[in-house]
Structure 1
């Protein structure tokens, strides 16, 4: 049997020139962000927002090297997963190159008997993993037999990867407080029944079984626009820790599995500066995207499907 794997993700601008097209595609997606305007106004509004937001975020991408490394790191993961499983692995992004709608053509030429679709989002949300699955169904030929892996937030290899990543940083701290910073979502998505928050909480609960004596909290980052987003924000929690007279905070980006603008700039620069102003000893756990435990987390999810 001829098998193949498709890894999907929203993507990121790898160069400064890709910022505006990426933002336009992102804000045009009504399933991800509904601005509360009629559907026919979504794209015009997305164009305005991307036009005004591009010069604002461009310096941030310049500060991390002129673009996000996310796509490059995702390609690393796809290559490592292919080596681990021996199965041809493709990578497709929703809003940046390599665009999913182009990658599916390569998959169709490869013509697998069975395709396993796995997102690089451990926790499921209709706005992230759900959007990836929606576009696979939209673009991929119905002749291809494919199976979705909805979520892998409780995968034992994934949990161990987080635990060991945190453990390496704890040895230098005397009175640590662990802050799990997750990418935020518009509040209405969760109010409509999305399981994202529950899955974040499940992941954190499993991780903290190894660190039972250490206090922790979950916060949310990266909100954009005037609509209401998940709370508490990472900024708010850092200020609360100061008021509680905490001295040390170790931040783990719980919804991410590789470095990109939200970790390298938002967490490291913006919140790093805020923590410094607050007098907090602030450390952020780096994400080792090539770690064997992480690759085994992905491959073990594929193995489950292969045995069915």
Structure 2
């Protein structure tokens, strides 16, 4: 049987010309962001929002080199996973190149009979991993046998990956003065309250497992990157940083918990905006850099595929 792996993600604009098309696709997805308007108005509203938002975010992408490295880093992860597993690894994005719809046709033309599907979102949410899985099924169900990993937030190698990077920062910190802040990408609040989304619980599970290795440190969870005119998860990273200063902490070590590689939310939102905020209020700020090519992270992906294969053998 001809087998392969598909890594899928929402994607990101790799250059400034891709910003508006990316935002338009993103805001057009009613399953991701429901603006509360009739469905036929979703795309017109997405066009208006992307048109006005593009000039606002363009300077941010220019400040980090002219585009997000997310797609480049995802392709590097795919290449490393291919070497580790010996299976062909495809990479498809929902809202940017390489678009999943094009990659699905490539998978078909390669005659893949069984496809192991992994999203690059360790914690499951209907808005992120769920959207990726939804589109994979829409494009490939019935054309190849799909074996899908919904969540890998408790994967042992993934937890060790976080612990390894976090330890380097905490080795330079005093427990009594330092707060560990896990900043997760936010979601519209209705996903949790109305749709019983698992995301908040899975983020907390990940953090609990990670911090078992650092019992002397106090830790907190916050949410960043809200967009659009709807209510998002709280507490926000911005407000949490301010409160940590009020609580008497001298330093905050920030780990972007829902991400597996650097992109605009880490390189600009955390490294520029929130760093400036922390320094302005007199709080030492250290953001843990993400090693997207770490053998531990690649092994986490590999082990999830192996679990599926073992299940099939049984």
Measure how far apart 1:41 and its partner are: 0.4
Greater Cα offset, 65-74 or 132-141: 132-141
Give the match's secondary structure for 2:279: helix
In structure 1, C-alpha distance between the alignment counterparts of 2:143 and 2:73, rounded to whole Å: 31
1:262 aligns with 2:265: yes
Q: What is aligned with 1:219?
A: 222
In structure 2, C-alpha distance between the alignment counterparts of 1:139 and 1:54, rounded to whole Å: 29
1:98 aligns with 2:98: yes
In structure 2, C-alpha distance between the alignment counterparts of 1:63 and 1:36, rounded to whole Å: 34
Give the match's secondary structure for 2:14: coil
Q: What is aligned with 2:191?
A: 189
1:42-121 to structure 2, matched below 5 A, reads 42-121=42-121
Greater Cα offset, 148-157 or 107-116: 107-116
Measure how far apart 1:141 and its partner are: 5.3
In structure 1, C-alpha distance between the alignment counterparts of 2:109 and 2:230, rounded to whole Å: 42
In structure 1, C-alpha distance between the alignment counterparts of 2:286 and 2:303, rounded to whole Å: 31
For residues 197-238 of structure 1, the C-alpha deviation after alignment (integer angstroms, 9 at most, x for no partner) is 000000000001001110010000000122110000000000
Give the match's secondary structure for 2:183: strand
4+ long deviations beyond 2 Å: none
For residues 267-290 of structure 1, the C-alpha deviation after alignment (integer angstroms, 9 at most, x for no partner) is 000000000001011000000000
For residues 219-259 of structure 1, the C-alpha deviation after alignment (integer angstroms, 9 at most, x for no partner) is 00000122110000000000001111210000000000000
Give the match's secondary structure for 1:190: helix
Give the match's secondary structure for 1:286: coil
Q: What is aligned with 1:177?
A: 179
Give the match's secondary structure for 1:177: strand
In structure 2, C-alpha distance between the alignment counterparts of 1:306 and 1:203, rounded to whole Å: 24
Greater Cα offset, 269-278 or 136-145: 136-145
Measure how far apart 1:158 and its partner are: 0.1
Give the match's secondary structure for 1:92: strand
In structure 1, C-alpha distance between the alignment counterparts of 2:155 and 2:73, rounded to whole Å: 21
Cα distance change of structure 1 residues 141 and 203 upon mapping to structure 2, 3 Å threshold: closer
Root-mean-square deviation over aligned CA pairs: 0.7
- How many residue pairs are counted as aligned between the two chains? 308
TM-score by length of 1: 0.99
For residues 75-95 of structure 1, the C-alpha deviation after alignment (integer angstroms, 9 at most, x for no partner) is 000000000000100000000
Give the match's secondary structure for 2:184: strand
Q: Provide structure 1 residue ranges, at least 5 long, that are not aligned to the other structure.
A: none
1:1-308 to structure 2, matched below 5 A, reads 1-140=1-140, 142-174=142-174, 175-191=177-193, 192-308=195-311
Measure how far apart 1:57 and its partner are: 0.1
In structure 1, C-alpha distance between the alignment counterparts of 2:162 and 2:248, rounded to whole Å: 27
TM-score by length of 2: 0.97
